[in-house]
Chain A
Amino acid sequence: MTTAAMMTADTLPTGAAQPDASGAPTLRKRLTDWIWHIHGSVPLDPGQSPDEAFDRLDPLFRTTGTARERNGDTLTFSKRDAAAQDRMAVFSGGMLWIEAQAEGLVLRYRLLSKALLYCFLAPLLFLAFAQATVALGKLESPKIEAKKPKAKKTPAPLNPIDKALGAPAPEQPKKKGGDDDKDKKPSPTAGYVFAGIFATLYAIGRVFEARRVGALFRRSLRQG
């Protein structure tokens, strides 16, 4: 029996992988997994044993807040409150295992990132804030319109010192409209902008973090 088969569903990170009847880790895929799962493979150097490979990867999992379990050719880990500079901080859990393929041994991995998932959902939250602001604006607009228009004060003349230094004279108040009136209405713009920022951050993170962790494993396996 392989080590993967010995693990129960409780010891595996949720949704990561489940052993099949033959014992090989099979990946239970869901349609939404691509959002927060990152998987890939790195070939081991010829002659590199699974033990040696995991020994080289071990420092990546010897960090504060990381629980890891090694069973033969499989390593599972989970993280909680990872330090900011932990090189695996983006991932909340995952599984790494070694498979024999025609070209030799290969390290395969499937990692879960709650950070990616939350970043994926963040645009929805900010869109909701924007919509709530629009709704509030509609509720408030009758009150704002009902208020009597306040006579705008004539701005005080420039202080002689400012005049001597060449500061522009203050603007005379406009009769209607203007920025002041716009400012009183809550604006949903910030919500839309942040929804866009998080959508962009998600796209960058999903690509960049997948590449970075692959390079990190490759480098760790090569270094003695």
Chain B
Amino acid sequence: MDGVRVGKRVIGAQAPVTVGWENIPKVEGGPAKRLFFTWFQPVMLFALLAFWFYAPNSIAKASTAVAIGVGFKVLLLGLEWLAPRHDSWRLTWKELTSDLFYVGLGYTLLRVVDSYIGDGAIIKAVQHSFDWDKLSWFTSLPLLLQAFLISFVFDFGQYWMHRGMHNWHPLWIAHAPHHYITQLNINKGAVGNPVELFLIGLGVGGFFDFVPRAVLLAGAFGLAVGTYQHINVRFNSPRWWRFLFNTTEHHSVHHSQDFEASRSNYTNTWVIIDRMFGTCVDGEAELLGMEGGRPMSIGETMSFTFVEAWKSIKARFSPNGYPHAVPAE
């Protein structure tokens, strides 16, 4: 495989990756189907933004956001079933069950842990120690600008955390299990070692004072854009959409079995951040995973980070971990 040169890198030399939007297949079928899969994403995003902007205070609550989030994911699961992007990514009972296990961990165990040592708790402690007040000037900004800033600043932090995970061994061993997924489905974003899921959730948003409605509006970006990272559906995303936002195509390149391709498209929502820092690769891949597509069991996913950390520490501090000195003759 020759691969394709993108900037200073050669993408697709180890595993197949399609590079360039012009080479990516379009949705096939009748005009109604093409119309639906072209406009679904923008219409849902603007509908959600309009909903949260105009919803009465009695409805604009976190519990409504959770209900909409669950309903939207069920709708997308239906789309995956009706119009799969790749048959090789079809959701099976076993895949759905194991994905939901990780989702469940996120809503239960991780949420409790996060309340004690997550970013909220850390920021609270910092503010208490230094007697800082929140940056309250934020609340006077227009709601949509607040929402954009919340989403963008959080994604900016995630970009660097994610990029760090691909470049620094201690963070990589937390993130690596997520890269063993061999197909993209709605709940695959939750698959990974709990340490990684904790780290990726860290943000600086707690330093700011936001209007609750702005937080809900920012959540609309996460739901109506970030969710498509892991989905087995093909959309004809408009040009402006794929320029600004992360797409399934971008994220499939990130999960490709090709090493260089996997070191691209780090953002969750705003792929324009990747464009700013030269890590964006427009394209798509079907063959995903690590070690030639070896699946990782839940047990190994849970233990991988700790086992690898132990091995690394042992290698670092063990006298046998370094090459033996060869006596001079």
A binding-site residues for B, Cβ under 8 Å: 81-85, 89-90, 115, 118-119, 122, 126, 129-130, 132-133, 136, 155-156, 159, 161-162, 165-168, 170-171, 179, 183, 186, 190-191, 193-194, 197-198, 201, 204-205, 208-209
Interface string of B276-299 (1 = CB under 8 A from A): 000000000000000001111110
Q: Any chain A CB within 8 A of the CB of B314?
A: no
Residue of B nearest to A202 (CB): B97
Question: Does B294 lie within 8 Å of A159, measured CB to CB?
Answer: no
Question: Does B183 lie within 8 Å of A84, measured CB to CB?
Answer: yes
Question: Does A81 lie within 8 Å of B54, measured CB to CB?
Answer: no
- In Å, the complex CA distance between A161 and B211 comes to 15
Question: Does B213 lie within 8 Å of A170, measured CB to CB?
Answer: yes
Contacts of B98 in A (CB 8 A): 115
Contacts of B87 in A (CB 8 A): 85
> Given the known A-B contacts A83-B293, A84-B183, are A165 and B112 also in contact in the complex, defined by CB atoms under 8 Å?
no
Q: Which of B57, B95, B104, B142 contacts A126 (CB 8 A)?
A: B104
Question: Does A84 lie within 8 Å of B93, measured CB to CB?
Answer: no
- In Å, the complex CA distance between A159 and B107 comes to 34
Tell which of B53, B94, B108, B143 has the most Cβ of chain A within 10 Å: B108
Instruction: Tell me the smallest distance from the CB of A203 to a CB of chain B, in Å.
Output: 11
- In Å, the complex CA distance between A111 and B111 comes to 37
Question: Does B182 lie within 8 Å of A84, measured CB to CB?
Answer: yes
Q: Which of A81, A136, A197 contacts B294 (CB 8 A)?
A: A81
Contacts of B140 in A (CB 8 A): 156, 159
Contacts of A162 in B (CB 8 A): 142-143
Instruction: Tell me the smallest distance from the CB of A127 to a CB of chain B, in Å.
Output: 10
- In Å, the complex CA distance between A84 and B95 comes to 7
Q: Any chain A CB within 8 A of the CB of B88?
A: yes
Please list 14 pairs of residues, one from A and one from B, whose beta carbons are closer than 8 Å in the complex, sorted by A's number.
A81-B295, A83-B182, A84-B94, A85-B87, A90-B92, A129-B112, A130-B108, A133-B112, A136-B112, A168-B56, A183-B62, A191-B108, A194-B108, A198-B104
Q: Any chain A CB within 8 A of the CB of B307?
A: no
Tell which of B57, B101, B103, B136 has the most Cβ of chain A within 10 Å: B101
Q: Any chain A CB within 8 A of the CB of B82?
A: no
Give the interface SS of chain B, mostly helix, strand, loop or mixed.
helix
Residue of A nearest to B53 (CB): A167
B binding-site residues for A, Cβ under 8 Å: 53-57, 60-62, 87-88, 90, 92-98, 100-101, 103-104, 107-109, 111-112, 115, 136, 139-143, 182-183, 211-213, 293-298
> Given the known A-B contacts A129-B108, A161-B142, A167-B53, are A179 and B62 also in contact in the complex, defined by CB atoms under 8 Å?
yes
Give the interface SS of chain A, mostly helix, strand, loop or mixed.
helix
> Given the known A-B contacts A81-B294, A84-B182, A155-B211, are A133 and B108 also in contact in the complex, defined by CB atoms under 8 Å?
yes
Question: Does B108 lie within 8 Å of A85, measured CB to CB?
Answer: no
Contacts of A81 in B (CB 8 A): 294-297
Question: Does B97 lie within 8 Å of A126, measured CB to CB?
Answer: no
Contacts of A129 in B (CB 8 A): 108-109, 112
Question: Does A115 lie within 8 Å of B94, measured CB to CB?
Answer: yes
- In Å, the complex CA distance between A84 and B54 comes to 43
Question: Does A167 lie within 8 Å of B54, measured CB to CB?
Answer: yes
Q: A85-B87, A167-B213 are in contact. List 13 more A-B contacts (CB 8 A).
A: A84-B183, A115-B97, A119-B97, A122-B104, A159-B140, A159-B142, A159-B143, A179-B61, A183-B62, A193-B107, A194-B104, A201-B97, A205-B97
- In Å, the complex CA distance between A122 and B105 comes to 11
- In Å, the complex CA distance between A183 and B13 comes to 50
Contacts of A194 in B (CB 8 A): 100, 103-104, 107-108
- In Å, the complex CA distance between A159 and B145 comes to 11
> Given the known A-B contacts A90-B93, A156-B139, A201-B97, are A186 and B296 also in contact in the complex, defined by CB atoms under 8 Å?
no
- In Å, the complex CA distance between A162 and B61 comes to 19
Residue of A nearest to B181 (CB): A84
For the complex of A and B, the 6 pairs showing the least CB-CB separation, nearest first, are A194-B104, A190-B107, A156-B139, A129-B108, A171-B57, A161-B142
Residue of A nearest to B295 (CB): A81
Q: Which of A90, A170, A183, A197 contacts B94 (CB 8 A)?
A: A90
